[in-house]
Amino acid sequence: MEGGDHLAHERKKAQFDVEAMKIVWAGSRHAFEVSDRISKLVASDPAFRKDNRPMLSRKELFKNTLRKAAYAWKRIIELRLSEEEASKLRFYVDEPAFTDLHWGMFLPAIKGQGTEEQQQKWLPLAYKMQIIGCYAQTELGHGSNSSKWWPGGLGKISTHAVVYARLITDGQDHGVHGFIVQLRSLDDHSPLPGITVGDIGMKFGNGAYNTMDNGVLRFDHVRIPRDQMLMKVSQVSREGKYSQSNVPRQLVYGTMVFVRQTIVADASCALSRAVCIATRYSAVRRQFGSQNGGPETQVIDYKTQQSRLFPLLASAYAFRFVGEWLKWLYTDVTQRLQANDFSTLPEAHACTAGLKSLTTAATADGIEECRKLCGGHGYLCSSGLPELFAVYVPACTYEGDNTVLLLQVARFLVKTLSQLGSGKQPVGTTAYMGQVEHLMQCHCNVQKAEDWLKPAVILEAFEARSARMSVACAKNLSKFTNPEEGFAELSGDLVEAAIAHCQLIIVSKFIEKLQQDIPGKGVKQQLGVLCNIYALFLLHKHQGDFLSTGCITPKQAYLANEQLRALYSQARPNAIALVDAFNYTDHYLGSILGCYDGNVYPKLYEAAWKDPLNDSVVPDGYREYIWPMLKQQLRTARL
């Protein structure tokens, strides 16, 4: 079948209103309209072409990114795009660039940690891109005293950086503070005296994150004017006297709370993109199983394919909703901080750190699973999956290594439990710890598979598992005379307790979403199926935790799995429509396997001939290397 919509028969199977689901996915009608308009704007502009990325050398690739970034900025100004529209434009251009760090970290660091005066001086310059900044925290070695290593945008482009370094006055070390430092001349871009700066080299994958100039930076007797220390949290007077404002020191790390929150929202985008490709292709691909000469089976109909694919589809939706909630939490904590209420900062830190860790790990693994779900063709660059994986996977490391972040969550959980004794009632995402006595001894009430569809049953099982794992850690910790030693010794268990807590957050926010009014025929019902798939898939995957803590019985674990299989069958007819609801353009997906019309094979065939190797029938190098070898073989054969 040439042309036409090869997935039309699949789209007809949908049991819900896809247009209404698009609004739910986008967050609101307004968000949908902005996203739809900007995605089409980018897709229709040849200046944003990206299919040639894997073929370009590093220098060509980087220059191409600079061109795109400058062109995007020009379009933002010409079209008078709002901040929301501009960030959508960046999203659909789909190419990491120095501008990400400028807008995503340099500006927020000044906003969060600069005084009013400092903000007035630096923000207008940064907003007009008259200076370009990056965020320089990580070191080559360790200790905030060797070389900075990794900051994006630093290597070749940034004129300024917010540099994190130890502040020492009168011989006293006051710990790490942020400083605005000019790195390069605003006239000829050469590094200022005493500054050594450059790119750290090629990274994983062709194209991918190599559009970014991650950099190295060294200082040799560089003087930073006193008023360029970010002084909202602490100050140094003209006389060199150090003082602290009446705000928690942890605000120095506030930029990370902001960025981790955006990374969670971004995880749902990356995962949904991979899932969209794998789902469409699974409906197109047929392999084996034909009976009486009929067509072969669509691979999406294999239960094994469904049990690998549908939990990822459900996770994409789950991460979307938890990302939405996290955005609300971040806005709330920001408003509180402005009113000098710091009470929710530890929770915001724990939630952003933990959810960043969980969602990026699941997304990175999920993209790779989607590649495998597409069989051999998934390994072709034209599937879009290799580049997506290569560009995404560092999210497990940047903004805090995922294990290090889970240990931050574990500290927060242990602290929360220890405060129960003093009568402090836990709130927010740890409110369930207030019921710890009940959760330690409750019994799951599931008797038949359908009982697992009750939100209260699911929630109690996840709460009991999380509470019991945290309490077990706290009990074991109390056996150590040195708490830090105990924490180090038990860190493996603590990480698992943190994972259980974060999974509970994601499950509970999905359930809360379903309690809202959701318009559109069948939309809520489909989301209910996905929510149950997400929860029961986790329960099945981690059944060791649920069983060993006595939260469920082996029979109940068996029933959960039985229910999960039934849910996969319910999701099957809706699968294509559920990925159509992401509303991704073919340009954004960048994948032949995931193209909207499903016309995969002719496109794969055509794309192969565009590969530079096929420019000539006989390749370069044939005369030099192959021809002499063939001749040699001929001579040997005659002998």
**What residue 403 binds from ligand LCIBMYWK, ligand FAD, none (CB within 5 to 8 A, per partner kind)?**
ligand FAD
What is the Cα–Cα distance from 450 to 560, expressed in whole angstroms? 9
**What residue 253 binds from ligand LCIBMYWK, ligand FAD, none (CB within 5 to 8 A, per partner kind)?**
ligand LCIBMYWK
- DSSP helix/strand/coil, 173: strand
Least Å distance between CB 84 and ligand LCIBMYWK? 9
Are 283 and 300 in contact, with CB atoms under 8 Å apart?
yes
**Nearest CB to ligand LCIBMYWK, comparing residues 19 and 401:** 401
What is the DSSP code (8-state) at residue 595?
A: -
What is the Cα–Cα distance from 561 to 194, expressed in whole angstroms? 63
User: CA 365: distance to chain centroid?
Assistant: 12
**What residue 335 binds from ligand FAD, ligand LCIBMYWK, none (CB within 5 to 8 A, per partner kind)?**
none
Residue 530 structure tokens: 């996905």
* Residue 544 among known ligand-binding residues: no
Q: Which of residues 527-556 bind ligand FAD (CB under 6 A)?
A: none
What is the DSSP code (8-state) at residue 619?
A: P
Are 153 and 65 in contact, with CB atoms under 8 Å apart?
no
| Strand 215-219 to 234-236 pairing | unpaired
**What residue 257 binds from ligand FAD, ligand LCIBMYWK, none (CB within 5 to 8 A, per partner kind)?**
ligand LCIBMYWK
Instruction: Tell me if 386 contacts ligand FAD by CB under 6 A.
Output: no
**Nearest CB to ligand FAD, comparing residues 215 and 594:** 215
**Nearest CB to ligand FAD, comparing residues 152 and 528:** 152
Residue 630 structure tokens: 């063939």
* Residue 636 among known ligand-binding residues: no
User: CA 553: distance to chain centroid?
Assistant: 35
Total of chain residues touching ligand FAD, rule CB under 6 A: 18
Instruction: Tell me if 150 contacts ligand FAD by CB under 6 A.
Output: yes
What is the Cα–Cα distance from 302 to 292, expressed in whole angstroms? 19
What is the Cα–Cα distance from 207 to 211, expressed in whole angstroms? 7
The structure tokens 């190797």 sit at 613
Binding site for ligand LCIBMYWK (CB under 6 A): 76, 83, 86-87, 90, 100, 103-105, 135, 137-138, 152, 250, 253, 256-257, 259, 262, 345-346, 349, 398-400, 404, 408, 411
**What residue 296 binds from ligand LCIBMYWK, ligand FAD, none (CB within 5 to 8 A, per partner kind)?**
none
**Nearest CB to ligand FAD, comparing residues 137 and 574:** 137
What is the Cα–Cα distance from 330 to 348, expressed in whole angstroms? 7
Nearest position to ligand LCIBMYWK, beta carbon? 104
**What residue 262 binds from ligand LCIBMYWK, ligand FAD, none (CB within 5 to 8 A, per partner kind)?**
ligand LCIBMYWK
Is 512 one of the annotated active-site residues of the chain?
no
144: left (phi over 0), alpha (psi -120 to 50) or beta: left
- DSSP helix/strand/coil, 578: helix
**Nearest CB to ligand FAD, comparing residues 101 and 530:** 101
**One-letter amino acid for residue 615 of the chain:** D
Instruction: Tell me if 561 contacts ligand FAD by CB under 6 A.
Output: no
| Range in contact with ligand FAD (rule: CB under 6 A) among 85-93, 230-238, 300-308, 395-403 | 395-403
Q: Which of residues 156-185 bind ligand FAD (CB under 6 A)?
A: none
Q: Residue 342's CB: how many other CB atoms inside 10 A?
A: 15
What is the Cα–Cα distance from 235 to 245, expressed in whole angstroms? 8
Instruction: Tell me if 401 contacts ligand FAD by CB under 6 A.
Output: yes
Strand order in the sheet with 133-136: 133-136, 160-169, 172-182
Q: According to CB under 6 A, which one of 115, 144, 397, 419 is a site residue for ligand FAD?
A: 397
| Strand 148-149 to 215-219 pairing | antiparallel
Question: What is the DSSP annotation of 232-267?
Answer: SSEEE-TT--EEE-SS-GGGGGHHHHHHHHHHHHHH
Least Å distance between CB 142 and ligand LCIBMYWK? 10
What is the Cα–Cα distance from 297 to 295, expressed in whole angstroms? 7
Q: According to CB under 6 A, which one of 62, 209, 452, 510 is a site residue for ligand FAD?
A: 209
Catalytic residue among 95, 399, 463, 496: 399
Work out the angle between the directed axes of helices 345-373 and 385-392 (0-180°, nearest 10). Answer: 150
76-115 mask for ligand FAD (x: CB under 6 A)? -------------------------x--------------
**What residue 60 binds from ligand FAD, ligand LCIBMYWK, none (CB within 5 to 8 A, per partner kind)?**
none
Q: Which residues are catalytic?
A: 399
- Which residues contribute to the annotated binding site? 138, 152
Binding residues for FAD: 138, 152
Per CB under 6 A, residues contacting ligand FAD are: 101, 135-138, 150-152, 209, 214, 394, 397-398, 400-401, 403-404, 407
